Structure 1
Amino acid sequence: MVTASIEGFLGDAERLGVHSFVLLRGGRTVAEGAWHPYELDQPQTLYSLSKSFTSTAVGLAVADGLLAVDDLVEDHLPGADLRGMRVRHLLTMTTGHDSESGDSMAADPDDDWVRGFLRHPVVHEPGTRFVYNSGATYALSAIVQRLTGETLLDYLRPRLFEPLGFGPATWDTCPRGISTGGWGLTLRPRDLAAFGQLYLQRGRWQDRQLVPAEWVDAATAAQVPNADPTGSQESLDWQQGYGFQFWRCRHDAYRGDGAFGQFIVVAPKVDTVVAVTSGTTDMQAVLDAIFTHLVNAPTQDAPTQDAPTQDAPAQVVADLSLPALTDAAEPRADLPGRFHTADPPRPPRRHHRPEIDQPSRIVGFAVVRAAHGWLAELHDEHGVHRFTCEPGRWHPSAMTTSDGVANPVATTGAWLGPTTFELRVCHTGDPATRSYTVEFDDTGATITPSDSVGFEFTEHPVVRALVAART
């Protein structure tokens, strides 16, 4: 029951690392699916796609008469000479900075990110240069919170999230309790599609105008140019102009955009919305697949079987899954079978989940035979984690950190050779899967961790573990 265009997208998407998609045409869900162990109802980390929701909060505050886009930033966040920087410049990433302000924010000795942002040098006249800067979005969040007395999440919940029927949502905050704004929001893939449809309908949902149409038009227009001055043809969809925390695309479309392929693509001319979550290193290729197969496909797809009628329910594409591991060999019978230890554990980090690009602090590893496969034991600074590994399957589980927070994961593991075991831990609310390749020998094991995607690196330090004393 899958049309040719959707089938073509699925082929590209699986190769590129897409985790879920929702396709709307004419306001109707045409097709949706998720690659197991990811699920359509599991909130996902959105990274910079959060910015488009921050923009919406600013638009609502403008509609409430709390501020205007041409207000001076220093009137809302006093404490520095910002050379005439306005709210508009925060929205369009034309603040006059020549780099991200995150380092200045994080370096503030009192964890005052607002003060850190205000101290970041304004070296150009605001409004003259586009420089992508998540700190500008954080500043917008700080302004909205000062004006409303609420975090972005609390401000948006009754005005946007509840009317649209969003599921569970969280938003990270800075040390002083201000929503991070430019990142840190988690929502379900279906929530992303509803948000895109709201914007396609110029802010109207059923019989209510949730967001002013004028704001939608301004936010999604090309407010400032951002083309590569060298004339590079790479990443063309990042050179079509920038609005109020929305990117313009080719094909007269626009999008919200987050790291590793978190997208909401809105194509008004063909009445289409596509929401995608991914763990990809080639975001442009994912956009190419969206435009080729889902946006620019013929109105009447040539079906592989029967095409859906206008009134048919959505095609929930089943049997999608990330590859699960299956044993390629039996382990060597005389390998040490008990837990292995390496260096003493270090003090636990204060975060709720193993984050991308955080060094993997492994203390030890073991694998033993279980009823339906293998039981892998991973020992890190948070304690000992035990993961079921059934051949050819992903097993849902949780990874509990030292603060007691249980983070959803799914695991698969198998023997690649007589002395080599691989464990994959998919953090199902995030885009990354962490793999542990373990080479056992007579005296211990060598553990090589790596991530499927990462901001600065994907390879972690190799750990040498020695055989633990038997008890």
Structure 2
Amino acid sequence: MEQNKQTELAQIINKEYPNTAGLVIVKDGETFYEDYFNGCTAESRIHIFSVTKSIISLLIGIAIDRGEIKSVDQKVLDFFPDYEISEDEETIQKITIGHLLTMTAPFKYEVEPYVEYFTSENWAEFALQLLGGTGTIGSFQYRPIVGPDILSGILVKATGRTVLAYATEHLFSPLGITVASDIVFHSQEEQFAFYEAQDISGWVADHAGTNAAGWGLTLSPLDMAKIGQLYLTAGNWQGKQLVSADWIADSTKEHSRWQEMNLGYGYLWWLIDEDCYAAMGDGGNIIYINAKKNLVVASTALFVQEAKDRIDFIKAHIEPFVD
């Protein structure tokens, strides 16, 4: 990117998107732009919030490729044989991994029970107890926190490994990504400090040792750009197939839709338009992929309420620069 355009982009970020921590743009497989803000550096690991969900989707795909999970059509309760089914519980018996990946599994709550969730010992088991109910399977309902952890529980049951250990062997290490350790909170103060931290390497886990699926992973924008590039190259990284091309294609095509936002949804990936899809988290954390332009945009951001839309930012201020 030309120097004057770099300067202009930095000015826009500082003025309009002041909570940005880092931004990396990869075009045609090469780093096109890289910059950091708010005292952050290339080494800074930031909590990426719901971008974590898309990483979980990728790990489910790897487990299916390896035969540890049969398919997205496998029933959730296959992995939890000790779950006690009540006489009137029919819905939960029909719910599949695919329903969890597409946010079309019903739950027994209308408002997410955050306090009860965060104070429970095992988040996957807590969410499992809320799965099903009288809702309709197949109807999209976004579940930010309480629900996705069932997928972490499935990964643990299917692989016999912690999510972090499995991810490290089959995804992070091959990509040159380091996620240091589990992060376990022992107080509310520790949890709030984590939200504001600018350099903690790890993945949040409950007291049972299961990593969170809907949030809790920390990465740098360079790490996130590698994930995006892996999707652009159909799961192949430097000649090694980390996940099948079929999974990349299936997970980034529309399986459900959030009508309120008019956004398509794949397997825990947001579908922006015909050529673009993204992993998005609170504050403006994003992995944005434009297949037509062979473009990846990865940005970390410090948490703020009602952060400005990063898709608008990318469409208006980044894509025109790379053409």
TM-score range, shorter chain: 0.7 to 0.9
**How big is the shift at 1:112?**
3.4
* 1:41 alignment counterpart: 43
Corresponding residue to 2:216 among 144, 159, 184: 184
* 1:9 alignment counterpart: 9
* 1:65 alignment counterpart: 67
**How big is the shift at 1:103?**
4.9
Larger strand proportion, structure 1 or 2? 1
* 2:105 alignment counterpart: 95
Alignment of 1:28-427 (within 5 A): 28-67=30-69, 68-78=71-81, 79=83, 80=85, 81=89, 82-97=92-107, 98-100=110-112, 102-103=114-115, 105-106=117-118, 108=120, 111-120=121-130, 122-169=133-180, 170-228=202-260, 238-250=261-273, 252-279=275-302, 280-297=304-321, 299=323
Return 136-145 or 93-102, whichever deviates more: 93-102
**How big is the shift at 1:178?**
0.7
| SS at 2:104 equivalent | coil
| SS at 1:264 equivalent | strand
**How big is the shift at 1:128?**
2.1
TM-score (norm 1): 0.58
Distance 1:207 1:254 in 2: 24
Distance 1:173 1:298 in 2: 39
| SS at 1:225 equivalent | strand
Residues 162, 112 of structure 1: CA spacing in aligned structure 2 closer, same or farther, 3 A cutoff?
A: closer
Amino acid at match of 2:240: R
Structure 1 stretches lacking a partner, 5+ long: 229-237, 300-471
Structure 2 stretches lacking a partner, 5+ long: 181-201
Number of residue-to-residue matches in the alignment: 288
Amino acid at match of 1:31: Y
**How big is the shift at 1:9?**
3.0
Amino acid at match of 1:241: G
| SS at 2:105 equivalent | coil
**How big is the shift at 1:10?**
2.2
Larger helix proportion, structure 1 or 2? 2
Distance 2:152 2:44 in 1: 25
Preserved contact between residue 99 and residue 131 of structure 1 (Cα < 8 Å)? no
Distance 1:262 1:164 in 2: 20
TM-score (norm 2): 0.82
Return 151-160 or 19-28, whichever deviates more: 151-160
Amino acid at match of 1:122: G
**How big is the shift at 1:285?**
3.1
**How big is the shift at 1:287?**
2.2
Deviation per CA, 1:398-446: give whole Å up to 9, x if none.
xxxxxxxxxxxxxxxxxxxxxxxxxxxxxxxxxxxxxxxxxxxxxxxxx
| SS at 2:61 equivalent | helix
Distance 1:215 1:53 in 2: 13
Indicate the structure whose relative CO is greater, using CA pairs within 8 Å and at least 6 residues apart: 2
Amino acid at match of 1:10: A
Distance 1:296 1:93 in 2: 33
Amino acid at match of 1:158: E
Preserved contact between residue 284 and residue 309 of structure 2 (Cα < 8 Å)? no
RMSD: 2.1
Distance 2:111 2:308 in 1: 23
Preserved contact between residue 222 and residue 243 of structure 1 (Cα < 8 Å)? yes
Amino acid at match of 1:264: I
Distance 1:92 1:100 in 2: 18
Amino acid at match of 2:218: T
Preserved contact between residue 125 and residue 150 of structure 2 (Cα < 8 Å)? no
Amino acid at match of 2:96: R
**How big is the shift at 1:8?**
3.9
Amino acid at match of 1:270: K
Distance 1:281 1:152 in 2: 29
**How big is the shift at 1:151?**
1.3
Distance 2:8 2:311 in 1: 14
Q: Percent identity at matched positions?
A: 29
Distance 1:275 1:83 in 2: 38
Distance 1:77 1:296 in 2: 49
Distance 1:197 1:149 in 2: 29
Distance 1:113 1:132 in 2: 14
